[in-house]
Amino acid sequence: MARRAMTMPRALVNGINLAYEVFGSGPPLLLIMGYRLNSRAWPPDFIDALAERFTLIIFDNRGTGQSDKPSSGYALSNLAKDICGLLDHLEIERCHVLGYSMGGAVAQELACRYPERVQKLILCATLPGGQKSVYAGPAVVTVMRELVGLTPQEAARRIATVTYAPSYLEENRERVERQMHREIVDPTPLHAADLQFQAFVDFDASDALAGVRAPTLVMTGDQDRLIPPHNSRLLAELIPNARLVILPGLAHRALWEATEACASLVANFLDDAGERQDEGLREARANAG
């Protein structure tokens, strides 16, 4: 298992201290976490599997984990600027980028605003924003937002009911509880959660996505209630040469529910061999056509 230090190093970037970790070996792969969650939330098996083939850069978004939690600057374009600062600090010019949920929106901002920094892009359980996006229903939004007065544990348990598939939750209660305990070590304060939520609602990259040049993998679970799979189809339409994978039976927490399959999907996409396979497949299809 990849070693995780209790205290993460911090870099002063874009006016705040951003906590980060780098481990593994191979081409650099930056992971961007979603709403309210910090870098502790990545599934350990997912991290371990990827660290064998890539140099992983994980960090706590502004307002979460061990990073600073200011009361402003949560626009997703600014979160992308934080990341650019972190890459500068680490002297990494270009890397693969994987964004999960709200992190996927930040990854889109990064790919649109700083295309030279993104080698390949993976967007997991996210949306492009704008009028064509389909947002969660009011009942789901209420579950995500009405967290005042709840302990971090209560809030995490409440959110789990809409992020995991009901069947997975039923069969893996202990696993979900263990995951929850990892996630609430450094709980996200209410103001940071509110400002992240607001920034995610404001986010709209739908017009800019046509300019994304990085090869892109869009993946989602077909049971996702929080960010319905329609959004991933839309992303795949808007981003030139994007590849779409819809994972059957998985919900918003697809990476946690089918960790091994997702890690292998990601690794194969990023891997040159995987790309060669894809090219071979495309050629074979073209020849067949």
Partner 1 sequence: MPDKGAPRGERRARNAQLSSGFDKAGRFIGETLGTFGLPFFWPYASMRAVTELILNAADPVYRGHEIRYGDGKPVVLVPGHLAGDVSLAPLAIWLDAIGYRPVKCKIAVNVDDRALDGPLAAALRRASRRIGRKGVLVAFDTGVRAAVRVAAEEQEHVSDVIAVGLPDHLPKMQAAVRLHVIETSRRIAAPWREDMHIVDGSRTLLPVNPAALKILSEILREIPISLLDAG
Residue with tokens 């189809």: 233
DSSP symbols for 70-85: -SS---HHHHHHHHHH
Provide the mask over 23-62, with x wherever binding to partner 1 is found by CB under 8 A and - wherever it is not.
----------------------------------------
Query: How many residues bind partner 1, per CB under 8 A?
Result: 14
Residue with tokens 């819809």: 246
Task: Identify residues 200-219 at the interface with partner 1 (CB under 8 A).
Answer: 201-202
Q: Which one among 25, 161, 198, 277 touches partner 1, defined by CB under 8 A?
A: 198
Q: Which one among 6, 139, 148, 286 touches partner 1, defined by CB under 8 A?
A: 148
Contacts for 122 with CB less than 8 Å, ≥ 6 apart: 96, 97, 98, 99, 107, 216, 217, 219, 266, 269, 270
Q: Which is nearer to partner 1, 11 or 193 (CB)?
A: 193
Q: Do the bridges between strand 10-13 and strand 95-100 make them parallel or antiparallel, or are there none, so unpaired?
A: unpaired
Look up residue 22 and give its two tokens. 């780098």
Q: Which is nearer to partner 1, 145 or 173 (CB)?
A: 145
Look up residue 250 and give its two tokens. 């998985």
Contacts for 51 with CB less than 8 Å, ≥ 6 apart: 2, 23, 24, 25
Q: Which one among 5, 149, 273, 285 touches partner 1, defined by CB under 8 A?
A: 149
Q: Which is nearer to partner 1, 114 or 135 (CB)?
A: 135
Summarize as ranges the residues that interact with partner 1 (CB under 8 A). 71-72, 145, 148-149, 189-191, 194-195, 197-198, 201-202
